[in-house]
Chain A
């Protein structure tokens, strides 16, 4: 990591530390949501940007993580600090089973299989009244007393999300991360070099799901309740939207997308119920006129930001 990048990251982190001091409760809640969904979106981009496959069932892992923490806290009173790792492990285990099949497919078939599995998880949570509460949802998830307030929970979320994002950054810059890029760009050649591509893809899928599970785990105590809609395919669309808006070619693209998406939602839903119409138009405009998202724009025109390392962003759907 260059000094310039480090300076940028430091500045962003300092801003995130300072912002709640001047913001009201509503915007602190929005910031918390941005962080949680941002972590979710960055984990999605491990599959989309770095592996080159579009997962349309990523919310399943988010939901599994959310329900793991929620159920452990409500039914067994397990402290949050233990629930979050459990959420990661549960999401990872589910991803290990589903991913075993998913990574055998690519392109549209990968997208639809992840979607079918995602809907399967959704229906299990939706129908299993005795355990998950079904469509009544799961209520009364309270964070520990120390974190029981918008500001304290924000700082806790900031800490966890930053740690998660740093770990994913390290993975993306490691030899493993570069092997994933190679598999994305030319799977056949990567196989010829002697890489077990299926194994790498499965590991990547599981790791991405674990961080989605972590994000889901953070959501329950923040929202105080859970509903099965958390793992519906609409929720799977959220990280896709964020990544496309922010740009899949940059590691931080999905986070930028989360900032834009969540702020816009908080703003727009303040005066109209037609949020789907709004985001639908935004997505249409981004797809038509801003391929590569905001990060693509930055890469093309922003000399002030870190220079790109990979090929130009014209080839969509790939992180450089």
Chain B
């Protein structure tokens, strides 16, 4: 990354804070951001965005700050561009890099800063109806009364005119056991012309809530940002904490963390495959998927004490490592389930009716996926090999030699196939990891490292990043000098992928939307936070 470093040094306002083999942090002037980002995006292979964070550092004399974390695939190098000294506006990057569209609108809502030149500056996270001047992530915001002053106000949507154009409003409350979001279809005949999605109904203000909390309290909340990507969020959070504390974790901790992450992937993928069948009313496929998911969740509960695997990952360690005997039992049960999976998956894959609904439905073009920074199975189904387990060396993935699983058509069927093939791979990884687990006896003192708080570096940014079943989850963290959370930003895979969903719907018919939506299988809660 020498070339990049030399390029950056050509700017007079630049300060290289840290530059190591895998990571760099560079302070830049905020007006240089567009130029530097354009240069970076022209590099090949093209970098991907991990997160984009605004932070109110006025107390530290740095004004408002923007942190943009880019990852350069192939080199496994991640660069944090820290733009400091922002007063009330900053140059928008959304036209250069559309992936930052939502994130910049969120900064406008929550900090009251203005993104100059943003192509679509409508409010995003905060719906109309909040009192004027409500910017809760500013540090001087303390009051809690605004919630009671929230008034009903209409949401803002573009209008469509013309003969035969209908608007079909759907949600926020949907028919079924699903999370809330409002979708507005603009249709002509049966076909969808345009789709607008208004989310953030489940916005709770978690990022403000965790501020001032201790590391352990923060973990409890971050684990619950998303019900079904608990392990991924906890791992990403712990990775950030461990970076700030310069803490090494033992191999057995890494082993069990990897096992947990793969168990999470398997039960989610299997359930998601079943749900895609539900999206077309294919009851047999759905029944098999949900049975298999239930059995996997029962395993989770039996061996790790929680159906969603909560509470096992702790900073510096792993709460309770199963004994070799338990590992053996877990391995046997997983072997059974993986055989069962191979038995029922052909029912789906050879079902003509299902295939006809899924093939060529909801196509996400590779260019759109790249522009919008889509991640996870959604992007891999469009031919982009960006599995974080392959791009970055973390946990025990380098030993497993993970390769991104790629399909090229970008349709519902491709997203299904990516999940099917990834589930097979995960079963394979689990088998080999658990055989390690059987061999390894864990000395008591290695189970959980207690870490000393005074070694933690305050006011430094750190990120943690984990491939969840839905894509790359990123947690960005800054602690204060008492080791309490100063700012924590959760960029979940769903947040990165939601802007892509409406693009895949035009041209399809309205009844295909549930199927398309389920093929992305995004979570609303970790997007809304």
Q: Do the two shown chains form a genuine complex with each other? A: no
